[in-house]
Structure 1
Amino acid sequence: MNNEILASFVASKRRSLKLTQPQLADKAGVGLRFLRELEAGKATLRMDKVNDVLGLFGHELGPVPKDRNTASPRKRDETDANG
């Protein structure tokens, strides 16, 4: 999942529930610093903690197929040649 998409999703959900960052961090059982880094789109975060936050919104991390247009050039060339 793209870090910016995840960050935007969490911030948007938090605002829609009218929660402050400290309130959401407390409800999710994560530190305020972690939540701020998550909403800032930090590239490296603990997945278990991300899932603690997402779980409050009825979501969790999981494998998502890559968009064909974002595949590596070699894979794209093989796909184009085969089909």
Structure 2
Amino acid sequence: MMKDWNRHAPIANFVRNRRKKSDLTQIELADMTGVGVRFVRELEQGKPNLMTDKINQILLFFGHTLTPTPISDETRRNLGS
């Protein structure tokens, strides 16, 4: 089930760390951001293909948003590997 999940993905780490620093449970964060608890859990566990609008609902709570980030030429070359 969690074969392709990445608990250490940047967004998963960011949300999990910010939630803990804010002394919030996953349930409290879900309630405060208007998303489901299951979504928060799956986001923190690095589930791929989550809906970006819901991710942004959570990131906005912490004053952030999803944005395109440039990658290095080396990273771009390694994408096909």
TM-score category (smaller protein): 0.7 to 0.9
Letter paired with 1:5: P
What is the TM-score of this pair, normalised by structure 2? 0.82
Structure 1, unaligned runs of 5 or more:
74-83
- Residue equivalent to 1:49: 54
Structure 2, unaligned runs of 5 or more:
1-5
What is the TM-score of this pair, normalised by structure 1? 0.81
Counterpart of 1:28 (choices 29, 33, 40) is 33
- Residue equivalent to 2:42: 37
Identity in percent = 47
**Highest relative contact order (Cα 8 Å, sep 6+), 1 or 2?**
2
- Counterpart-to-counterpart distance in 2, 1:70 and 1:43: 20
Measured on the aligned residues, the alpha-carbon RMSD in Å equals 1.6
Q: Rg: which structure is higher?
A: 1
